[in-house]
Amino acid sequence: MKARSIAASALATSIFLAASVTSSFATSLPHAKRVTMGSSPLVITTDYGSPGLTENFNPYSSTHLVGANYMYEPLFMVNSLNGKQTPWLATGYKWVNTKKLVFTLRSGVKWSNGTPFTAKDVAFTFNLMHKFPALDSNALWSVLQSVVAHGDQVIFNFKTVNVPDWYYIATTHIVNAAQFEKVPNPVTFTDPNPVVTGPFVVGSFTPQEYKLTVNPLYWQRDKVHIPAIESIALTTNTITDEMISQGKVDSSSQFVPNQNSTFIARDPQHYFSWQPLGTPWTLFMNLKQWPFNQLKFREAMAYAINRTRIVKQGEYDYMAPSHQAVLPPAMQAGVTNPSLNNIYNYHYDPTKAAILLKQMGLKKNAQGQLLGKNGQQLSLTLQTPAGWTDIIQDCEFIAQDLGKLGINVHVETPSVSTTFSNLQTGQFQMADVGVGGAQPWFIYHAALDSQVSAPIGKIAPSNFERWINPKTDQLLAQYASTTNPKIQKADMVSLQKIMLTELPLVPLDFGVWWNQYTTLHYTGWPTAQNPYAAPSNFAWPDYLLVLTHLQPVK
């Protein structure tokens, strides 16, 4: 494969020399037209080709092609929107106690090379991550003791109790032991011919596109009505937007500016976009500094920012203003207490914000500037990475909102790595970044746990604002060490209350699962009425559900 693409580019040079003779020749080659038939391949766009795709289907590689997600499968399917579980390679699981987890595997599943899928493959997968820590991106072996195969079961023994990590175990890509045993370094392995349990296998690969063809041995073969997937490399945003608007792809997951007019309006019968809410974007404040260590100041921030304007004018109205409880709405169902959210409703109210600042003892001068401790105007910096254009725009709006209160805010846009390095070491005042997590506990853990924080100058993995609170830690730990849903629910509500009353962070808006699709060739996409999966084609493990739901248009 590699040799072929180098040959292809070497070819380009000689072709251009030939072109000098025929530079005036007419451009009469027709565009490759797609046949609108039930058997047409599913055309998607999801991987960036910069400048071309590089072949890498190794599911452990941080740079693997999204196609690996359509071939390798997890033990359990977990809906990224609402956490709903569907048995997949495993038919069930059981916590024997909080330190012992047992998965029972599905029988009759075959690898694409015809060999049977067994518990040995699963145990091998996890032990490989132990052997090569660079593969263990979720740090599972910081809590695991051992993983062993036992008949059609796999037993996970924990050295540290961590019930939420079930999610990472359940959604790990399971690889074929016989294949990976022979790989000397699985970290740099590019896996050109994956042996998989999933619905597709690699068909062909070029730097502009790769094709996956249906796996005839797939255990749910009857549910797959797509003969092949063609994944076209993403290039520039403009060109991608143009391709999407011409209906050249069936599914894409892009931030398309003004997509109602540039995409959907071009064929409202067939072009759609359902973008459910996801990652909360939040205002991080450095709690080790005045005035952010003052609760009243944080409350003032929560009232001072016009979230509706951020969403409407900064985010093309795709997103939604977020609630102080920080969790996306779909995740809150059955987890938090909705009436609390109504009591602590931090809506846009600059007058109230001004009153809170006044109560803090902050004075204004004749020019209406809010004065800091030194008698000068209170002047703050707000960071977000360069290139995140919509977020930079949001930050400008925040700066304007705070400007109305007499606070001078300077928006800084260092590079992505500098921004995150600043956040990790606490070298910032305010920042607008996302706080991710696949499930509610992960979000609260990432945002609030002192375990993932650090003193200023030391690297904090995610609790950048440095919220150090024993009560919070105890609640998070208690949730993680029990399988009792009642205790877990009570813990979540207590954590929700901390968010609502202490405001360690000020959430701004919910990001969305980017999504555009057409019904020209396939129907059965996830929608608001039937949210069976997160709709983005890079969503792991959700998109396997989509691929087993789609029906060709007759």
Partner 1 sequence: MTQSAVEIHAYSRAEKRHTWSEMWGMIFKTLWRNKKSRVGLIILGIFILVAITGPLLAPYSIADTNFATSAAPSARHWLGTTQAGQDVLSQLIVGTGDSVITAFGVGFIATLLAIILGISSGYAAGWLDDILSFITNVFLVLPGLPLLIVLASYAPGKGIGLIILIVGFTSWPWGARVLRSQVATLRSRDFILAAKLAGDSAPRILVREVLPNMLSLVIASFLSSSLYGLLTAVGLEFLGLGDPNAVSWGSMLYWAQNAGALMNGQWAWILAPGLCIACFGMSLVFINFGFDELSNPRLRGDYE
Partner 2 sequence: MRYFLRRTLFLLGTLWVAITLNFLIPRLMPGNPASVMIAKFMGRGQQINPQSLHAIEVMLGISHASLLSQYWQYLGQVVHFNFGLSYTQFPYSVTYVIAQALPWTLGLVGLSTVLSFIIGTSLGILAAWRRNKMTDSVVTSISAFTNAFPYFWFALAAVYFLSYLHNWFPLTGAYEIGSTPTFSGAFILDVIRHGILPALTIVISSMGGWLLGMRNNMINTLGEDYVLLASAKGLKSHWIASMYVARNAILPNITGFAMALGFVVAGSLLTEVVFAYPGIGYAMYNAVINEDFPLMQGIFLIIVLCVIVANFVADLLYVLIDPRVRRGGES
Considering only residues 422-441, where is the footprint of partner 2 by CB under 8 A?
424, 434-437
Q: How far is the CB of 270 from partner 1 (least distance, A)?
A: 18
Question: Of 1, 37, 96, 239, which lies in the binding site for partner 2, with binding defined by CB under 8 A?
Answer: 239
Chain position carrying tokens 């009560």: 471
CB of 486 to partner 2, least distance (A): 27
Query: CB-wise, 325 or 411, nearer to partner 1?
Result: 411
Smallest distance from partner 1 to CB 362, Å? 24
CB 84 within 8 A of CB 171: no
Question: What is the 8-class DSSP label of residue 378?
Answer: P
Number of residues that bind partner 1 (CB under 8 A): 28
| CA-wise closest residue to 323 among 313, 353, 336 | 336
CA distances from 24 to 11, 15, 31, 242 (A): 21, 15, 19, 26
* Kind plus residue range of the DSSP H or E element containing 44: strand 42-48
Residue placing its CB nearer to partner 2 in the complex, 49 or 504: 49
Contact indicator for 276, 330 with CB cutoff of 8 Å: yes
* Residue 145 binds: one of partner 2, partner 1, none (C-beta under 5 to 8 A by kind): none
Q: Identify residues 340-369 at the interface with partner 2 (CB under 8 A).
A: none
Residue type (1 letter), 281:
W
- Which residues in the 257-316 window bind partner 1 by CB under 8 A? 257-258, 261-262, 309, 312-314, 316
Provide the mask over 509-548, with x wherever binding to partner 2 is found by CB under 8 A and - wherever it is not. ----------------------------------------
| 402 phi, psi to nearest 5 deg | -70, -30
Q: Which two tokens stand for residue 376?
A: 């000068």
291 versus 437: smaller Cβ distance to partner 2: 437
CB of 11 to partner 2, least distance (A): 6
Q: Does 84 bind partner 1 (CB under 8 A)?
A: no
Characterize the bridge pairing of strands 76-78 and 85-87.
Answer: antiparallel
Looking up tokens 């205002």 gives 283
Contact predicate 198/212, CB 8 Å: no
Q: Which residue in the block uniquely carries the two structure tokens 């045993």?
A: 181
Q: 352: which residues sit within 8 A by CB, 6+ positions away?
A: 300, 303
Give dist(CA 450, CA 192) in Å, integer. Answer: 42
The CA-based angle 386-275-539, given to 5 degrees, is 75
User: Angle at which helices 485-502 and 440-448 pack, to 10 degrees?
Assistant: 40
Taking the complex as a whole, how short is the minimal distance between the CB of residue 304 and partner 1, in angstroms?
A: 17
Judged by CB under 8 A, the chain residues 454 through 513 that form the site for partner 2 are 459, 461-462
User: Coil, strand or helix: which one is 535?
Assistant: coil
Is residue 3 close enough to count as binding partner 2 by CB under 8 A?
no
Q: Is residue 291 reached through a cis peptide bond, with omega within 30 degrees of 0 on the bond before it?
A: yes
Residue 138's binding partner among partner 1, partner 2, none (Cβ under 5 to 8 angstroms by kind) is partner 2
Q: Given candidates 52, 350, 372, 414, which one binds partner 1 under the rule CB under 8 A? A: 414
Q: Least distance to partner 1 from the beta carbon of 460, Å?
A: 21
Q: Is the Cβ of residue 20 or residue 351 nearer to partner 2 in the bound state? A: 20
User: Are the CB atoms for 428 and 383 separated by under 8 Å?
Assistant: yes
State in angstroms the smallest separation of the CB of 8 from partner 1: 25
Q: Do 287 and 543 contact (CB within 8 A), yes or no?
A: no
Site map for partner 2, 191-230, x if CB under 8 A? -------------x-xxxx--------------------x
Among 1, 333, 386, 456, binds partner 1 (CB under 8 A): 386
35-64: contacts with partner 2 (CB under 8 A): 48-52, 54, 56, 61-63
Q: Which does 12 bind (CB under 5 to 8 A by kind): partner 1, partner 2, none?
A: partner 2
Residues 24-83 that bind partner 1 (CB under 8 A): none
Closest by CA to 226, choosing from 553, 554, 547, is 547
Q: Which stretch binds partner 1 (CB under 8 A): 253-261, 285-293, 457-465, 481-489?
A: 253-261
Binding positions for partner 2, 295-324, rule CB under 8 A: none
Q: How far is the CB of 516 from partner 1 (least distance, A)?
A: 13
Question: Contacting partner 1 (CB under 8 A), which of 287, 392, 480, 546?
Answer: 392
- Cα gap 196→111, rounded to integer Å: 5
Residue type, 314: G
Least Cα distance to 515 among 542, 549, 484 occurs for 542
Question: By rule CB under 8 A, what count of residues binds partner 2?
Answer: 82
Q: How far is the CB of 393 from partner 1 (least distance, A)?
A: 5
Tokens coding 117: 């899928």
Report the residue number, 415 or 474, with the smaller CB distance to partner 2.
Answer: 415
Q: Which is nearer to partner 2, 173 or 296 (CB)?
A: 173
Angle made by CA atoms 41, 115, 226, in degrees to the nearest 5: 10
Q: Is 451 in the site for partner 1 (CB under 8 A)?
A: no
- Of 63, 185, 238, 529, the residue at the interface with partner 1 (CB under 8 A) is 238
Q: How far is the CB of 280 from partner 2 (least distance, A)?
A: 11
Which of 152, 267, 349, 396 binds partner 1 (CB under 8 A)? It is 396
Decide if 381 contacts 428 (C-beta within 8 A): yes
Separation between Cα atoms, residue 117 and residue 121, nearest integer Å: 7
For residue 425, with 0-12 CB atoms within 10 Å meaning exposed, 13-18 middle and 19 or more buried, which class applies? middle
Residues 6+ apart with CB under 8 A from 268: none
Choose the one of partner 2, partner 1, none that binds residue 339, judging by a C-beta under 5 to 8 angstroms depending on kind. Answer: none
For partner 1, the binding residues (CB under 8 A) are: 237-238, 241-242, 245, 256-258, 261-262, 309, 312-314, 316, 386-387, 389, 392-393, 396-397, 400, 411, 413-415, 418
